[in-house]
Amino acid sequence: MTAPLIGITTAHRQRRHPPPVTLAAIPATYVQAVAQAGGVPILIPLGIGEEGLKALVDRLDGLLLPGGEDVEPGLYGEPPHPRLDKVDPERDRLEITVTRLALDARLPILALCRGHQVLNVALGGSLYQDIPSQWPEAIVHRAPNRREPGASHLITVDAGSRLAQIIGPGPMVVNSFHHQAIKELAPGLVATAWAPDGLIEAVEMPDHPFCLGVQWHPEEMVQDHPPMRALFRAFVAACQNDDRRPTREGTEDRGLRTADLGPPAQTTTRPLTADR
């Protein structure tokens, strides 16, 4: 069988040495986790317009939304909180657009950390912009010094959820690198895992072939934690079983033409200084 093509969105990064160059990049752990599970990672750069994203979604077998910086609060109707970290409006627009296109196409989706939050916002939900100041009962979800190893904590998983079928019912320990979290859950999503303080740690869409979001970083855990390897294997298997694949594999050329990408979107350059 042909390995499924899995799109992974990227972020702006600035090259550390001159001359200054803006890169479309993503930590290699996402690419490695998808590849080890049997998928073919396809990086989606910023600067692609909606028509180009439609062309990509039509050729992809799955979508992975990775971690990153904070989500622009105006997208869910709130003013910026004083402790909001850096945002990238261009990345927000692209990821929300491609998420909605992928949902419309019934494409399997795995959303991680920021991606879990983007999924919720794309469907009409909202976020806590800063957990420590907006959730007084919160445990530590991000190490105070970002140069230190990330925090970790237990999660409780809904035993009847798809997530529990994949990674087990828990409880289990996961890593934690975030200061934002789901506040109002979007219509169509259900919460399936929680931190000890009650914050939502995982969501899924029951009427979708495969749409899961988790607040932790399973790609950082796959080498030592079989449940996280199982999560990526389940995602890739769902992409392999995409009911659109037989039609697409019957064509002579699944490659993208330059014209398919449409006109370039307006871009800005900024360093990426945020969560993973």
**Helical (H) or strand (E) element with 249:** helix 245-249
Q: Among residues 141, 219, 220, 239, which one is catalytic?
A: 219
Domain contains 52: yes
Q: How confident is the model at residue 25, as a pLDDT?
A: 84
Dist. CA 100–CA 208, nearest whole Å: 13
DSSP conformational letter for 70? B
Dist. CA 85–CA 10, nearest whole Å: 18
Which residues, other chains included, contact 231 with Cβ-Cβ below 8 Å and sequence gap of 6+? 110, 166, 167, 212, 214, 218
Q: How confident is the model at residue 145, as a pLDDT?
A: 62
Which residues, other chains included, contact 96 with Cβ-Cβ below 8 Å and sequence gap of 6+? 75, 118, 121, 122
Burial of 241 (0-12, 13-18, 19+ CB in 10 A): middle
Respond yes or no: is residue 113 known to be catalytic.
yes
Dist. CA 258–CA 185, nearest whole Å: 38
Q: Using only C-alpha atoms, what is the Rg of the chain?
A: 18
pLDDT in tens, the chain (276 residues): 789 999 999 997 777 778 887 777 899 999 999 999 999 999 999 999 999 999 999 999 999 999 999 999 999 999 999 999 999 999 999 999 999 999 999 999 999 999 999 999 999 999 999 999 998 888 888 877 655 667 889 999 999 999 999 999 979 999 998 999 999 999 999 999 999 999 999 999 999 999 999 999 999 999 999 999 999 999 999 999 866 654 555 443 444 443 443 443 333 333 333 445
Q: How confident is the model at residue 1, as a pLDDT?
A: 72
pTM score, two decimals? 0.87
Q: What residues make up the domain containing 66?
A: 5-261
Domain contains 266: no
**Helical (H) or strand (E) element with 40:** strand 40-44
Domain contains 210: yes
Where residue 158 sits, what CATH number does that domain have? 3.40.50.880
Q: How confident is the model at residue 20, as a pLDDT?
A: 80
Q: Among residues 113, 153, 201, 204, which one is catalytic?
A: 113
Respond yes or no: is residue 219 known to be catalytic.
yes
Q: How confident is the model at residue 13, as a pLDDT?
A: 75
Q: How confident is the model at residue 110, as a pLDDT?
A: 99
CB of 217 within 8 A of CB of 67? yes
Domain contains 197: yes
Q: Among residues 116, 178, 179, 217, which one is catalytic?
A: 217
Domain contains 124: yes
* Range 188-217 burial, b when 16+ CB lie within 10 A, else e: ebebbbbbeeebbbbbbbeebebbbbbbbb
Q: Which two tokens stand for residue 189?
A: 């999503």
Domain contains 231: yes
Domain contains 205: yes
AA letter at 109: I
Domain contains 195: yes
Which residues, other chains included, contact 244 with Cβ-Cβ below 8 Å and sequence gap of 6+? 61, 105, 106
CA 207 to centroid of chain Cα atoms: 19
- Whose tokens are 């050329």? That residue is 253
AA letter at 28: A
- Whose tokens are 């798809």? That residue is 162
Number of structural domains found in the chain:
1
